[in-house]
Amino acid sequence: MTAKTVLIVDDEAPIREMIALSLEMADYRVLEAGSAQAAHSLIVDHQPDLVLLDWMMPDTSGLELARRLKRDPVTAELPIIMLTAKGEEDNKVQGLEAGADDYIAKPFSPRELMARLKAVLRRTTPYGIDEVVEVNGLLLDPVSHRVSSNGKTLELGPTEYRLLQFFMTHQERVYTRDQLIDQVWGGNVYIDERTVDVHIRRLRKALGESHQQLIQTVRGAGYRFSTKY
Amino acid sequence: MTAKTVLIVDDEAPIREMIALSLEMADYRVLEAGSAQAAHSLIVDHQPDLVLLDWMMPDTSGLELARRLKRDPVTAELPIIMLTAKGEEDNKVQGLEAGADDYIAKPFSPRELMARLKAVLRRTTPYGIDEVVEVNGLLLDPVSHRVSSNGKTLELGPTEYRLLQFFMTHQERVYTRDQLIDQVWGGNVYIDERTVDVHIRRLRKALGESHQQLIQTVRGAGYRFSTKY
DNA sequence: CCGCCTTGTCACACTATTGTCACAAGAAGA
DNA sequence: TCTTCTTGTGACAATAGTGTGACAAGGCGG
């Protein structure tokens, strides 16, 4: 699961920062824009997954931006949450008509914001298609999150599971420890390369005699998952 | 496992036949319809397990049919896969909003079609809405809203009941806390993820020693209801 | 208004998992 | 064979993820 990117559009920097802080603590990537103009180019460049849009903006109103985004086919599916001052119920209607997916009245608690944000993201990102992978009697089923070796369920820790999943969907190719950290641990972690060795070891152990040869050491380079040995 | 019936709705006969051929080779029963009208009566008569629906249809568009099916409680549960010409990403969103469970862009390989089809069938509920569900002596009767374990009635709160019902009709699949909130609490609620844990705990407690192992924790992922442990 | 039940949240207890280290074992090259 | 890299292995302390009990707020029928 990759981190979602959220764009905050508000002309008041303190508010932006407050929101940005909450979001970053919850592991979202955050972009900020102080004007509709800036917002638009950020959207084109960075393709955020969601926009938090303030209703009151000096130049072009937030409403205008929302309309524009929804009209353009490229950005039409981008979910938008409108922020607005308390009690202005009319705005809510207008905002939703303009294509906003949800609406939050200021002042709001960070907690509420997060909850709504998740709800919107949840219902706009459809589930992926998860396919079962099978190699020589080794079966990985992402749907039930289960791995079995010749029918017998294996006990894998989360990291071992992800590692195996990556290998099974990227067979026959050598990956350096760095690449594995990138792919399995997810981009922005700082861990020792040798840690990979340890997890490889754990995975091999869990796979047992019957399948541990599938994970091969390529000396001086990295590791490879292959049926040929 | 009995053969699944798939209904193909497309106004172009050659395409229908191509798809039908692939499906029959994979042991599916196939129905064909050239119009939304025909499709509707076939659905009523033959109750297929899945509908492959073309987006572009002369009379009522495929989209319309999808909406109609999802609106009618009788057919609401019927999984739908939309077919559409390549690159029309807007359609994807509209299609998914209309209730389609998946979406395939033409031209597609038979292989891809089969994979998606299997995936959709796997994750859609094989159970009728009012059917009694039974697992290892654990019995849930949606009509009387009652749950019994080896004949003895259990006391479940409303939420625990819904949670259990969801699990029993969606076995063998891991659900994240988010997804459970979506499915059991209903789309637009804002509650803490950890609340799910508490309800899981309450449900397990209520199920007693005999059945609490059915609800399994998948560390780092979520929960799963399964008879295999 | 009262008592009863359900619910969401919190604080704390508990455990599996994780990253790292020190050392053992192998491979490659001279 | 000996030296020098590189990888395997077991142990361990810190941490992240779950289990668990308690509680206050809210709903609901009386």
What residues contact B135, with CB distance under 8 A and at least 6 apart? Answer: B168, B171, B214, B227
CA of A177 to C1' of C30 (A): 29
Give whichever of A213-217, B45-49, B74-78, B153-157 has the largest mean pLDDT. A213-217
Q: Phi/psi of residue A132, each to 5°?
A: -75, 140
Query: A145 to chain B: which residues are within 8 Å by CB?
Result: 174, 218, 221, 224
Residue B88: closest C-alpha in chain A? A73
Phi-psi domain of A157 (left: phi exceeds 0; alpha: psi -120 through 50; beta: other): beta
Interface test with B, best of A145, A156, A169 (most B CBs within 10 A): A145
Q: Which nucleotides of C are covered by protein (CB under 7 A)?
A: 5-11, 16-22, 27-28
pTM: 0.61
Query: A76 to chain B: which residues are within 8 Å by CB?
Result: 90, 93
Q: How close is the nearest chain B Cα to the Cα of A135, in Å?
A: 17
pLDDT band at A145 (very low <50, low <70, confident <90, very high): very high
For residue B1, the model assigns a pLDDT of: 45
What residues contact A93, with CB distance under 8 A and at least 6 apart? Answer: none
Burial A42-80 (b: 16+ CB within 10 A, else e): bbeeeebbbbbbbbbbeeebbbebbbbbbeeeebebbbb
* Strands A5-9 and A29-33, bridge-based pairing: parallel
Q: Is the per-residue pLDDT at A140 higher than 70?
A: yes
Strand partners, A50: A6
Residue A14 CA to residue A39 CA, distance in Å, equals 17
- The mean pLDDT value for B52-75 works out to 71
- The mean pLDDT value for B134-161 works out to 85
Asked if A203 contacts A162 with a C-beta cutoff of 8 angstroms, the reply is: no
Residue B75 CA to residue B32 CA, distance in Å, equals 18
- The mean pLDDT value for A78-105 works out to 67
Query: B93 to chain A: which residues are within 8 Å by CB?
Result: 76-77
Virtual torsion, Cα B162, B167, B168, B174, nearest 10 deg: 170
As given in the structure block, the two tokens for residue B169 are 């009709």
For residue B186, the model assigns a pLDDT of: 74
- The mean pLDDT value for A133-153 works out to 90
Interface residue ranges in chain B relative to chain A, Cβ cutoff 8 Å = 89-90, 93, 96, 102, 115-116, 119, 122-123, 172-174, 178-179, 182, 187-191, 218-221, 224, 226, 228
Give whichever of A31-45, A192-206, B51-65, B139-153 has the largest mean pLDDT. A192-206
All structural domains of chain B, each given as residue ranges with its CATH number in brackets, are: 5-123 (3.40.50.2300), 133-225 (1.10.10.10)
What residues contact B133, with CB distance under 8 A and at least 6 apart? Answer: B127, B139, B140, B142, B165, B168, B169
CB pairs under 8 A between A and B: 51
ipTM of the complex model:
0.66
| Token pair 């950290």: residue | A181
Say if the Cβ atoms of A77 and B90 lie within 8 Å: yes
- Measured between alpha carbons, how far is residue A149 from residues A131, A211, A227, B186 in Å? 17, 8, 15, 37
Say if the Cβ atoms of A73 and B90 lie within 8 Å: yes
pLDDT band at A57 (very low <50, low <70, confident <90, very high): low
- Measured between alpha carbons, how far is residue B163 from residues A53, A98, A215, B175 in Å? 35, 36, 40, 12
As given in the structure block, the two tokens for residue A180 are 């594995």
A 10 A CB-CB count for B33 gives 23
Q: Is the per-residue pLDDT at B166 higher than 60?
A: yes
Q: Is the per-residue pLDDT at A5 higher than 80?
A: yes
Say if the Cβ atoms of B187 and A157 lie within 8 Å: no
Q: Given B96, B116, B173, which is nearest A144 (Cβ)?
A: B173
What residues contact B159, with CB distance under 8 A and at least 6 apart? Answer: B184, B185, B199
Strand B80-85: give its sheet, edge to edge. Answer: B29-33, B5-9, B50-54, B80-85, B102-106
For residue A93, the model assigns a pLDDT of: 56
Q: Is the per-residue pLDDT at B154 higher than 80?
A: yes
Q: Which region among A36-50, A103-117, A190-204 has the lowest average model confidence (pLDDT)?
A: A103-117
CA of A177 to C1' of D4 (A): 22
Residue B220: closest C-alpha in chain A? A158
Detail the DSSP E strand segments found in chain B.
5-9, 29-33, 50-54, 80-85, 102-106, 133-135, 138-141, 146-149, 152-153, 174-175, 215-218, 222-225
For residue A195, the model assigns a pLDDT of: 96
Q: Is the per-residue pLDDT at A90 higher than 60?
A: no
The share of chain A scoring above pLDDT 90, in percent, equals 31
Residue A89 CA to residue A96 CA, distance in Å, equals 11
Asked if A65 contacts A40 with a C-beta cutoff of 8 angstroms, the reply is: yes
Query: A79 to chain B: which residues are within 8 Å by CB?
Result: none
Please write the tens of the pLDDT for every residue from A173-223.
899 999 999 999 986 788 999 999 999 999 999 999 999 999 999 998 899
Q: Is the per-residue pLDDT at A125 higher than 70?
A: no
Residue A16 CA to residue A111 CA, distance in Å, equals 16
Asked if B22 contacts B11 with a C-beta cutoff of 8 angstroms, the reply is: no
Q: Is the per-residue pLDDT at B192 higher than 80?
A: yes
